[in-house]
Structure 1
Amino acid sequence: MNKIRICMLLFLVLAGSLTSRGQSYQKTDAGIKTAIKSVAVEVQFYDPSTVRVLKWPQGDTFDKKSLSVIKAPQKTTFSVQQKGEAITLKSADLLVVLNLSSGAISFKTPDGETLLAEKETPNQFVKFDDAGVSAYKVTQAFVLAKGEPIYGLGIQQQGKMSQRNVKLRMVQGNTDDYVPFFQSVKGYGVFWDNYSPTNFADTQEETSFSSEVGDGIDYYFMNGGTADGVIAHMRSLTGQAPMFPLWTYGYWQSKERYKSQNELLGVVQKYRELGVPLDGIIQDWQYWGNNYLWNAMDFLNPEFYDPQKMVNDVHKLNAHLIISVWSSFGPHTKQYKELEKLNALYNFKTWPESGSEKWPPNLDYPSGVRVYDAFNPAARDIYWKHLNESVFKLGMDGWWMDSTEPDNFDNKPSTTHLGSYQKVRNAYPLVSVGGVYDNQRKVSSDKRVFILTRSAFAGQQRYGANTWSGDVVASWNALRNQISGGLNISLTGIPHFNSDIGGFFLWEFKEKLKDPEYRELYARWVQFGAFSPMMRSHGADAPREIYQFGKKGDKVYDAIERYINLRYSLLPYIYSTSWDVTANQSSMIRALVMDFAADKQALDINDQYMFGKSILVCPVTTGMYTKDREEDFSTIKSRKLYLPKGSDWVDYWTGEKLSGGQTVTKDTPLDVIPLYLKAGSILPIGPKVQFATEKKWDNLEIRVYEGGNGEFTLYEDENDNYNYEKGVYSTITFNWNNAKRTLTINDRKGEYPGMLKDRKFNIILVSKGKAVGDGAVEKFDKVVSYNGRKTVVRL
């Protein structure tokens, strides 16, 4: 009997394990564990649609805490079945098949359609010494379907929309922001959770990630069904995007750099005198004085004689101020001395190299500037302590966190709080930005965190950061590249992107602002900026304020002013879209694959996109009105564009309705960017203002674009603070029934202090020549007095 009991006990202990040709696996609470060809393999369900795959050399340990992923595995119902060499894990939304012979894993839909398959990869682990610690170079290859478009990987300046046939050396840089994540038109995504320099390569044979440093392979597969679904899963893993204040969606002015507080204040005053809207002004570097005091986070430059007065004066003009801070410190700063005691400064060369401000740098006088170890929580607290005590308490409205890559000129080995710098290098922007966000949230809920930053990594959307594309050199090609760059980082789940309007450097334009071609380029970049998540003019070599381009009545000036005003008229739409990003995991700028995945002609277009879910934007990215460096407006030029299949489209400027699935030609005078509204769209138009919160939205124009059913939800709150996280906001949903020609304004949901209890909606059905462009509407179809109760309007 004792022998029988022992056998029964062994059977029960091994009940979670099965054997095939010497290969065994163990079922766990989240998936399975096994070892194949001396490689330990673990598959974990994080939810029914998301799976984590881990692999490491058998005999080693792999216990990693992700910097990007903050989600814990959810309890997921799944089954495990073995048939021959194949083990199949099945959840409600996913099949995961592991080949016990080769070790390759494939991912399928519940009905068995293959979404993605691993390729058997020899030499997945190559051992080496990483700054005195044993580590591996790690590689995983996948097999994609022929002609299957994929997207993401961050911002690159190569102008490609689909990332097929691409090879990338993924190391954070000034104008390239790498996120090791891609998603497919088939509705799945892959996040390669590694922070070291990584080679991504897509060839006809395979698609692979190969990272320089790792203890093992760690990636996540998610089946979202659609691009929006994939992004929702990525944000579920790595964090949701909080809301920015309303004012951040207004117009921003900046340059390299305002050299005194009088100059900065004079810019804001000039905009107010001209009647041109403005909400943000930015102070760039060197307000701290010389380079030995680099990033002191204090106004040590005597030209900034009263920083408290400067902040107050900007606020009195109903504008906001953000300021440049860096990830490095000069040797004479308080921060440097505290961080040095903590052993939290890296030893590689960074910007600026010289203590002298003259150009080129005089290396006989090294600056001694060093980057701080943002991976160290105590160092992040020191960073915030000085930022808070010196600047935030003045009432500063946000942060321009420059060089968050950070600049690394010699790749000299360094050690971080988490090990070698090389092992975690690409995640530096994530932790440095996160340190400011987390600390500000601890001390204030009255002011939403707003961070403008030059670099990004997976998960950074959770930290209130808007990534700009770095110091790009102005050219038509550079303008075009910003479109695909912004769309691809959005497709990684990071929704807030912008570029320096006009490009940072003007190296190709010897006459700077006097160059007619540059003036044309700048006007077109302003148009693109008006339909970006942030509209911000910035650059070196020449100032970019609107009055630098002439005066009212001059074509370039008028074109710039037109699009600043257009931006403000769309604020109810833009702010509601930003809420959709936070509440429903949407995206502000949307690659055409997001809404038209079934239209093969739309999948690789790199110069068109949706702004929100209603507006098709087609920027002009070639010069049209400059010949031999002379302006020539005698003939109206045009550009060709594609209207995606699956919808009719209404020309914003003319009201003409066109069928989707065709290429059309649109006239593009200097002050026109082609814009089309998806049939069925409902577009709120705000009042003419000088700053975002100048007037209440008590008399909104509501444009209806017939030709399909549509829905739009108008979102409103206190415009700043975090009360919206407690449900303190209101929504009003509009529904257009195209067949019945009725617009239903549903019951208002929610409330907040200062909410409009009664208001008017001025409704108009757009048609050819009626309620088009940015002109005033003379007569509305219906004027509705609305008190929060459901109203049905027939048009």
Structure 2
Amino acid sequence: MKYLQVSLSITLLFICLAGRAQTYERTVSGIKTKVNTIMVELEFYGPSTIRVVKYPEGKVFSKESLSVIQSPEKVKFSVQQQDDLLMLDSREVKVYLNLINGQISFKNKGKTLLSENENGASFVDFVDAGSKTYSITQSFVLDPEEFIYGLGQQQEGLMSKRGVELTMIQGNTEDYIPFFISNKGYGVFWDNYSPTTFKDTPSNTYFKSDVGDGIDYYFMAGGNADDVITCMRNLTGQAPMYPLWTFGFWQSRERYKSQDELVGVVKKFRELGVPLDGIIQDWQYWGNNYQWNAMDFVNPGFQQPQKMVNDVHELNAHMIISIWNSFGPMTKQYKELDSINALFSFETWPSSGYEAWPPRMDYPSGVRVYDAYNPKARNIYWKYLDKGLFSLGIDGWWIDSSEPDHLNPQPEDFDTETYLGSFRKVRNAFPLMTVGGVAEHQLAETKDKRLFILTRSAFAGQQRYGANLWSGDVVASWEALRNQISAGLNVSLSGLPYWNSDIGGFFLWDFNNPLNNPDYRELHVRWIEFGTFCPMMRSHGEGYPREIYQFGEKGNPTYDAIEKYINLRYSLLPYIYSTSWDVTTNHSSMMRALMMDFASDKNALDIDDEFMFGPSLLINPVTEAMYWKNKSEDKNMGMVEDFSVVKAKEVYLPEGSDWFDFWTGEKFNGGQNVKKEVPLDIIPIYVKEGSILPWGPEVQFATEKSWDTLEIRIYEGADGQFTLYEDENDNYNYESGKYSTISFKWNDNKKMLTIDSRKGYFPGMISNRKFNVKFVSENKGTGIGLSKEYDLVINYSGKKMSFKK
């Protein structure tokens, strides 16, 4: 009788287990199953990239991503089920799905990288402009000591994004990319375009979006931040190369009011012998607000636009021009777009047709944003852009208000119908669509000119369109300057490698008579110094002109400091251009948060005022005033410059390398704070040991001189490697292999320099050249000037050569 009771109990247990067991369907790239009332799909997009999709049972989830262009890959993976736990293993990452509560965890090498919260997925019924859908939430659990980065660009001055709450709706100075990266070696991309809340607390980290038919996110594992960014760019697109000239110095102003004024600026730079590669024409070359963004030179100050462009080119400079995403009612574009119902009705800039300040709202401008989601609208946009500007030889685009401007937003504005559904549904992807429309049309027309698009807003995937994000119309202040550093670094950690800011700040509201104000003059110099080490170096602002000669003449400390850093930028062009090739080829980043290269140094994980520029240069901008004071004996309390005492700044040198002071050659151990004296024309720059730094010739524009003679600076102490990249400087022939590379290798133990055989060929390539080698030591091979004596003078014809020190 006891035996029958035990047997019956075991039978009932198996029946219960069988009742609890979940089934799953194996697909080509993953699995599909149901957990309670939620469908769950896991797909491999690579050995270390997994897409997670969830949606309510009985619904259909079908989405063509606006950001993701990669397709699922046929990845070798195993599936195992143990009780209520399903495991997918690609050898690069293990994914665990709890078949009872739906919780998903990601592990690598036995370590949990990230876990969802139990029951962390939420679907709340929502009616979006008449369509039934959901508001969706997915929450995760992060480790208490973990740091996360990315999420686009904010101006709060934070490096790590732990503890923040963000309302993610694109704005002028705030750009949101729903992707974060962890110092543990993984990233998460939330593929949703509606207004989204990101919030991190000690117990809960979540994305919550207003609209979504399903939860859709990607998990990426990697050994380091570069690996994760590689996964993100594989998903959303490679960053193409810019022309060499885009890495020179750019001058702009809000705004040049005639073509004579614009061309005159370029001529003045040439007369002064100050290098310049680009000039930018800001808005209203089209005339009044009713002709807003006509993409035509209707303004009487621009009567010969073709001559203007030609004049700039004859001065060996390039020109880009402001275009917007809205049109005035008297433009041809407005009428054609309106005829296909491709104009939105919500309020945008400028709201008044009255151009003086303050605006007269009793004379509304009638300006309306166009439907960039509509392919026919993008065709119309390019048709007029091509005819009115591109045909003149304009070299690139400054797409302003690319978020777009949405003034006094009303709830009903988000019900506005776009080509892809409600504006609410796709709101944050607007910059991706408008920048992509211009890029795709230009590439279809010609591949002789590389894309270059300066844009005020960005979204995931925008790097594939040659887009360079700038930080918007920031108000000039020392705090704003410091905030630019973490803003730019987090953009890079969001997968977008190209970023810049208005050098000097756009608005000068906090300064009286700024060009003669010692506080602002110092701020402008320090911003120039920072901008030297950004992917684009561009001076711009409203109210007061910012050209170098507005700050005095040669011999004036402000003028001399600005000139010094512009020249430094040009000396670094071989290094910068080679780094840009690494960005395109190996998915690297130019502005690098310290966590990217020094992840094992806990002291470096949350530093918000210094960064690596490329693989070798540690940059620590000066972000507080040092050389002005109130002149108390003056009854008017006037401010004066005071250079009588040289101030110093503390710099952290990351652990894991020793460092050379760029200016003096003095060597320091890593893992410590040092003090660096910072007169007006000096910021702390340190070079990582083992670095090989190519040094370009003195030039007035990027392509003035060939690189047939380069100084090569070697910083001993560790093995090092650098690859010099060269091509035709423009066009897309590099994509078909028309480029060359020369690899330099330093063996520190053997004190041996090896220059490998040149690889590749392109028309105009230098066959024979000279490398002047300098081993950097204290006061030797330092600063911005070329060395007078060299340790090795190498005549190189393309064949492998080795030299012992």
TM-score class normalised by the smaller sequence: over 0.9
Instruction: Give the Å deviation of 1:742.
Output: 1.1
Of residues 691, 703, 708, the one that matches 1:681 is 691
Partner Cα distance (2:347, 2:514) in 1 = 32
Instruction: Give the Å deviation of 1:541.
Output: 1.4
Instruction: Give the Å deviation of 1:722.
Output: 0.3
Higher mean Cα deviation, 767-776 or 756-765?
767-776
Say which SS state the counterpart of residue 438 (structure 2) adopts: helix
Say yes or no: does 1:245 pair with 2:255: no
Partner Cα distance (1:472, 1:230) in 2 = 30
Alignment of 1:450-489 (within 5 A): 450-489=452-491
Contact in 1 for aligned 2:101/2:119 (Cα 8 Å)? no
Instruction: Give the Å deviation of 1:198.
Output: 0.5
Of residues 171, 196, 201, the one that matches 2:194 is 196
Which string of whole-angstrom CA distances, capped at 9 and with x for unpartnered residues, describes residues 476-517 of structure 1? 010000000000010111000000000000011022211110
Which string of whole-angstrom CA distances, capped at 9 and with x for unpartnered residues, describes residues 291-341 of structure 1? 010000000001001000000000000000000000000011111111111
Of residues 752, 769, 780, the one that matches 2:779 is 769
- The match for 1:703 is 713
Say which SS state the counterpart of residue 179 (structure 1) adopts: coil
Contact in 1 for aligned 2:102/2:119 (Cα 8 Å)? no
Which string of whole-angstrom CA distances, capped at 9 and with x for unpartnered residues, describes residues 363-418 of structure 1? 10100000000001111111011100110010000000000000011332311100
Instruction: Give the Å deviation of 1:26.
Output: 1.4
- The match for 1:505 is 507
- The match for 2:94 is 95
User: In angstroms, what is the RMSD of aligned CA positions?
Assistant: 0.9
Say yes or no: does 1:560 pair with 2:569: no
Alignment of 1:91-240 (within 5 A): 91-109=90-108, 111-121=109-119, 124-240=122-238
Higher mean Cα deviation, 529-538 or 772-781?
772-781
Instruction: Give the Å deviation of 1:22.
Output: 5.2
Partner Cα distance (1:189, 1:30) in 2 = 20
Partner Cα distance (2:347, 2:797) in 1 = 62
Partner Cα distance (2:192, 2:121) in 1 = 18
- The match for 1:360 is 358
Say which SS state the counterpart of residue 666 (structure 1) adopts: strand
Say which SS state the counterpart of residue 24 (structure 2) adopts: strand
- The match for 1:8 is none
Partner Cα distance (2:354, 2:465) in 1 = 35
Say which SS state the counterpart of residue 152 (structure 2) adopts: strand
- The match for 1:369 is 367
- The match for 1:636 is 646
Contact in 2 for aligned 1:121/1:139 (Cα 8 Å)? no
Contact in 1 for aligned 2:694/2:711 (Cα 8 Å)? yes
The one-letter code sitting in structure 1 at the alignment partner of 2:263 is L
The TM-score, its normalising length taken from structure 1, stands at: 0.97
Say yes or no: does 1:550 pair with 2:552: yes
Higher mean Cα deviation, 410-419 or 451-460?
410-419
Which string of whole-angstrom CA distances, capped at 9 and with x for unpartnered residues, describes residues 642-697 of structure 1? 00000010000000010000000000000001101100000000000000000000
Alignment of 1:596-607 (within 5 A): 596-607=598-609
The TM-score, its normalising length taken from structure 2, stands at: 0.96
Contact in 2 for aligned 1:94/1:108 (Cα 8 Å)? yes
Which string of whole-angstrom CA distances, capped at 9 and with x for unpartnered residues, describes residues 168-192 of structure 1? 0110000011000001001100000
The one-letter code sitting in structure 2 at the alignment partner of 1:520 is E
- The match for 1:577 is 579
Of residues 742, 745, 758, the one that matches 2:755 is 745
Aligned residues: 777
Partner Cα distance (2:182, 2:601) in 1 = 14
Which string of whole-angstrom CA distances, capped at 9 and with x for unpartnered residues, describes residues 43-91 of structure 1? 1111110000001111111101100000001101111111111100111
Partner Cα distance (2:544, 2:145) in 1 = 44
Partner Cα distance (1:148, 1:19) in 2 = 40
Structure 2 unpaired stretches of 5+: 1-16, 631-638
- The match for 2:634 is none
Say which SS state the counterpart of residue 435 (structure 2) adopts: helix
Contact in 2 for aligned 1:681/1:704 (Cα 8 Å)? yes
- The match for 1:291 is 289
- The match for 1:329 is 327
Partner Cα distance (1:123, 1:717) in 2 = 50
Higher mean Cα deviation, 19-28 or 660-669?
19-28
Instruction: Give the Å deviation of 1:112.
Output: 2.4
- The match for 1:316 is 314
The one-letter code sitting in structure 1 at the alignment partner of 2:25 is Q
Say yes or no: does 1:407 pair with 2:405: yes
Partner Cα distance (1:392, 1:425) in 2 = 28
Say yes or no: does 1:258 pair with 2:263: no
Instruction: Give the Å deviation of 1:23.
Output: 3.0
Partner Cα distance (2:121, 2:310) in 1 = 61
Contact in 1 for aligned 2:89/2:95 (Cα 8 Å)? yes
Change (3 A) 1:118 1:194: same
Alignment of 1:715-734 (within 5 A): 715-734=725-744
The one-letter code sitting in structure 1 at the alignment partner of 2:44 is F
Partner Cα distance (1:711, 1:103) in 2 = 47
- The match for 2:628 is 626
Contact in 1 for aligned 2:691/2:714 (Cα 8 Å)? yes
Instruction: Give the Å deviation of 1:209.
Output: 0.4
Instruction: Give the Å deviation of 1:20.
Output: 5.9
Structure 1 unpaired stretches of 5+: 1-17
Which string of whole-angstrom CA distances, capped at 9 and with x for unpartnered residues, describes residues 125-176 of structure 1? 1111100111111000000111100110011000000110111011000001
- The match for 1:432 is 434
Say which SS state the counterpart of residue 114 (structure 1) adopts: strand
- The match for 1:50 is 49
Say which SS state the counterpart of residue 177 (structure 2) adopts: strand
Instruction: Give the Å deviation of 1:550.
Output: 0.4
Instruction: Give the Å deviation of 1:123.
Output: 6.7
- The match for 1:419 is 421
Say which SS state the counterpart of residue 124 (structure 1) adopts: strand
Partner Cα distance (1:745, 1:244) in 2 = 27
Contact in 2 for aligned 1:512/1:541 (Cα 8 Å)? no
Say yes or no: does 1:784 pair with 2:783: no
Change (3 A) 1:536 1:19: farther
Which string of whole-angstrom CA distances, capped at 9 and with x for unpartnered residues, describes residues 264-293 of structure 1? 010000000000000000000000000010
Partner Cα distance (2:417, 2:286) in 1 = 28
Partner Cα distance (2:408, 2:173) in 1 = 18
Say which SS state the counterpart of residue 500 (structure 1) adopts: coil
Instruction: Give the Å deviation of 1:92.
Output: 1.9
